Amino acid sequence: MKSNLLLLLLIVGVMFVTSRTQKKNTVLKTISTEVLKDKIAGGWAGKMLGVSYGGPTEFDAHGFILEDSIKWKPSDVNFSLQEDDIYVQLTFMMTMDQYGIDAPAKKFQELFAKSGYKLWHANVQARKNYYDSIFPPQSGSPEFNSHADDIDFQIEADYIGLICPGMPQTANRIADKIGHIMNYGDGVYGGAFVAALYSEAYFESDMLKIVQNALRTIPVESDYSKIVNDVILLYKQYPKDWKAAWKELEDKWANTDMCGAGSSYNIDAKFNGAYIVMGLLYGDGDPFKTMDIATRCGQDSDCNPSNAMAVLGVVKGFSAFPAEYREKVLAIKDSLFINTNYSFYKTVEKTLDYAKEITVKNGGKVSDAELAINVQTPTPLAFEESFPNLVFDRRVKVSEEGWTFNGNWETRKKDDKTIQDKVSANAGDEAIFKFEGTGVSIAGNWNNNCGKADVFVDGQLKRTIDCYFHYSNQHPGNVNLYLTTNLQEGKHTVHVVVKGEKRTESEGANIYLSEAVVYKTGKKIDKDFKFSFQK
C-alpha cells in the first residue's frame, strides 16, 4: 500500500514538473491540417477580394470619408491577378523557393528589383538602390530612401504571417529582414504588425485581442503603436460609430506623412494601418462590412481592405466566406498572378508547405493529420525613427526664388507653358538652392539618358548621385534625387554640380531638376492633443 502511494506521488510529481516546464518554456497548440489549409485559403482569398473591392476607389478619398456608391461584384476578384499587393510578395515567396526561407535580404531585393512589374514609392526606390549597389538594410534607410515610412512593406508582408501560424516571433525576425529592403521605422513596423495579425489570427477569434497581441511585435514608443492604440481607444468610446472615430483620428494624425507633405494625400504606413484596424474592429466579423469600412476610410483604399479582409479570412477560414465569394475565387484558382509562377491554388499549397517547415524548425511537430505548433510570445523590434521632429515647410519649384543656375541649363516647359524642370549634361554646370530649415529634398527625374552629379551641402561633398534608371518609362518624374535631414536650424546651401559622366548603358549624362522640398523642426503630433471625449 505504501509502495503504491509512493508510486502515485512520484507520477503526480513528474506530471506537475512536466506541466510547469511546458508552461514555462513552451505552449503547444494543435491545429488540423485541414483547418490550417482552410484558414490559409481564407487569408489569400480575403486578400484578393479586398483589393478588388477597394481597387476602383484608390486615393479617391483623402481627408474625407468615401460616401459614394462602390460598384463591385464578386467576379471582380479577377482584377486581383494584376495587383502589386499580391505579386510583390509572391516574388518574395519565389525567392524562398529558389534560395530557402533563410536566404539573405539581398537575394530578396535582387529578385524583386529585377522583376518586370511596376513599383512605386519605397519599393521603386529600393529597386533603384539595388542598381546603385545600395543593399539592405541601407536600401530602406532614410538616408537612401525618402519613402522609408510609406506603406510598401505593409501591403506585401501578409505571406510572412501566413507562413508563421502562432509564431509571431519568427514572423518578426523575417519582417525585420525583408522590411528593411524598402522601409525603416514605422514603415517596417507596419509590415511586422500586419504579419503578426495573421500569426495571431490562427488561434484567436476575438479581433480586439488579435490587434492587441499583434502590437506586442513593435515598440510601444513608435508612432505606429500609438496610432493603433488610439484606434482601440476610439473604438471603445464609439463602439457603434466608426465615422465618429475616423473624424477624431483624422484630426490628430492626418498631417504626419512625409511623402504627401503639403497635401491631404497620405501613403504613410501607420495612418493606413489604422484604417486596417478600423475595418477589423468595426467590421464585426462580417466580410462585406470589414472591407467596406476599411475602404470608406479612404487614402490607400485598395490596400487597406485587402489586409483587413485577409486577416478576417484567417480567422473564419475560406469555407465561411459567402458562397458567391468562394465560387468566384475558385473560378480563377489556376490563373497566374502577373509576373509570377503562382496561382491562388499554388499559393495556398506553398504557404501550407512553408508553415509546416517553420513549425518543425521552431520545435513543433507535423503529421499528415495535424500540426503541433510551439506558439510564441514576440519580443518587440528595436525602436528606430525615420524622420524625428521633421515637418514639411514648403515646396520651391526651380522657377521660384531660392534657385540659381550657372552654366547652360535648358528650361523645359509643360503644355500649359509653365516650367517643368531644368536639364543639363554639361560638366561643371551647377544648380544652387538656398533655404532656411533643417532638411531638404532635391527632386528631379530618373531616366535612361541620365548621368551623375555631385551634391554639396554647405560646401561639403555629401554624395555623388546617379540618375540613370532603365525602369524610368514606368514612372513620372519629380522623384527624390537627394535628401538631407537633421541639419542645424538656420540657413543652408545645396550645390548640385553636373559631372558630365554616365554609366556605359546610359544614353546620356543629363541631370533633371524640378523642385526642392524644405523641412523644418517641429511637432508632427501635438503631444497634449486630447480627443473630444477626453477634454
Please state the rounded mean pLDDT for residues 12-37: 63
For 138-154, the pLDDT digits (tens) are 999 999 999 999 999 99
Q: Residue 253 corresponds to which cell in the numbers above?
A: 494624425
1 confidence band (pLDDT: 50, 70, 90)? very low
Residues 6+ apart with CB under 8 A from 282: 235, 242, 245, 289, 293
Cα distance between residue 412 and residue 420, in whole Å:
6
What pLDDT is stored for residue 5 in this prediction?
Answer: 39
DSSP H helical segments within 165-257, as ranges?
168-182, 186-201, 207-214, 223-237, 242-253
Question: Where are the domain boundaries for CATH 1.10.4080.10 in the chain?
Answer: 25-375
The percent of residues above 70 in pLDDT, for the chain, comes to: 94
Percentage of the chain exceeding pLDDT 90:
87
Q: Give Dmax over CA atoms of the chain in angstroms.
A: 106
Please determine, looking at this structure, whether the domain spanning 390-521 carries the CATH number 3.10.105.10. Answer: no
| pLDDT (0 to 100) of residue 26 | 67
Q: What is the mean pLDDT of residues 62-71?
A: 94
pLDDT band at 15 (very low <50, low <70, confident <90, very high): very low
**Virtual torsion, Cα 487, 488, 489, 493, nearest 10 deg:** -60
* Residue 523, pLDDT score: 87
pLDDT, one tens digit per residue, over 240-289 is 999 999 999 999 998 877 887 777 888 999 999 999 999 999 999 999 99
- What is the predicted pLDDT for the residue at 6? 39
Q: Judge contact between 447 and 535, C-beta under 8 A.
A: no
Q: What is the pTM of this model?
A: 0.94
Per-residue pLDDT, averaged over 173-182, amounts to 98
Residues constituting the chain:
535
φ and ψ at 26, to 5 degrees? Answer: -145, 155
Residue 407 pLDDT > 90: yes
Q: How far apart are the first and last CA of the chain?
A: 72
Cell of 148: 522609408
Report the range of poorest mean pLDDT among 40-44, 485-489, 524-528: 524-528
Asked if the model's pLDDT at residue 327 lies above 50, the reply is: yes
Q: Where does the pLDDT of residue 524 fall: very low under 50, low under 70, confident under 90, or very high at 90 and above?
A: confident
Q: Which three cell numbers stand for residue 487?
A: 541639419
Asked whether the beta carbons of 374 and 364 are under 8 A apart, the reply is yes
Q: Contact 97/340 with Cβ under 8 angstroms?
A: no
Per-residue pLDDT, 263: 79
Give whole-number Cα distances, 279 to 182, 246, 465, 515, in Å.
Answer: 26, 11, 42, 38
Predicted confidence at residue 476, as pLDDT, reads: 63
pLDDT, position 527: 81
Residue 475 has what pLDDT? 67
| Residue 21 reports pLDDT greater than 80 | no
- Residues 152 and 386: their CA atoms lie apart, in Å, by 15
Peptide bond into 219 cis (omega under 30): no
Per-residue pLDDT, 19: 31
pLDDT greater than 90 at residue 394: yes
Q: What is the DSSP letter of 310?
A: H
DSSP string, 118-159: ---HHHHHHHHHHHTT--TTGGGSTTT-TTTTBSHHHHT-HH
15-24, 396-405, 521-530: lowest mean pLDDT where? 15-24
Among 19-23, 216-220, 297-301, 444-448, the minimum mean pLDDT is found in 19-23
| H or E element in which residue 461 lies | strand 460-466
The mean per-residue pLDDT over the stretch 289-297 comes to: 98
List phi, psi (to 5°) of 345: -60, -45
Output the DSSP codes for 26-77: -EEEEEEHHHHHHHHHHHHHHHHHHHHHHGGGTTT-SSS---S-----GGGG
Reading the block at residue 309, the C-alpha cell is 479582409
Q: Are 158 and 195 in contact (CB under 8 A)?
A: yes
pLDDT at position 11 is: 39
Using pLDDT thresholds of 50, 70 and 90, give the confidence band for residue 13: very low
**Confidence label for 24 from pLDDT (cuts 50, 70 and 90):** very low
d(CA 434, CA 452): 21
CA contacts within 13 A on the Cβ side of 478: 14
**Mean pLDDT, rounded, of the chain:** 93
Q: What are the contacts of 218-222 at 24+ separation with CB within 8 A? A: 218/189, 218/192, 218/193, 218/380, 218/381, 219/189, 219/380, 219/381, 219/382, 219/383, 220/380, 221/383, 222/185, 222/186, 222/189, 222/383, 222/385
**CA of residue 318 relative to chain centroid, distance:** 25
pLDDT higher than threshold 50 for residue 12: no
Q: What residue spans in the chain does CATH classification 2.60.120.260 cover?
A: 390-521
25-375 CATH, one of 2.30.33.40, 1.10.4080.10, 3.40.1110.10, 1.20.1070.10: 1.10.4080.10
The set of cell numbers assigned to 355 is: 508553415
Give the closest residue to 175 by CA, choosing from 214, 119, 133: 214
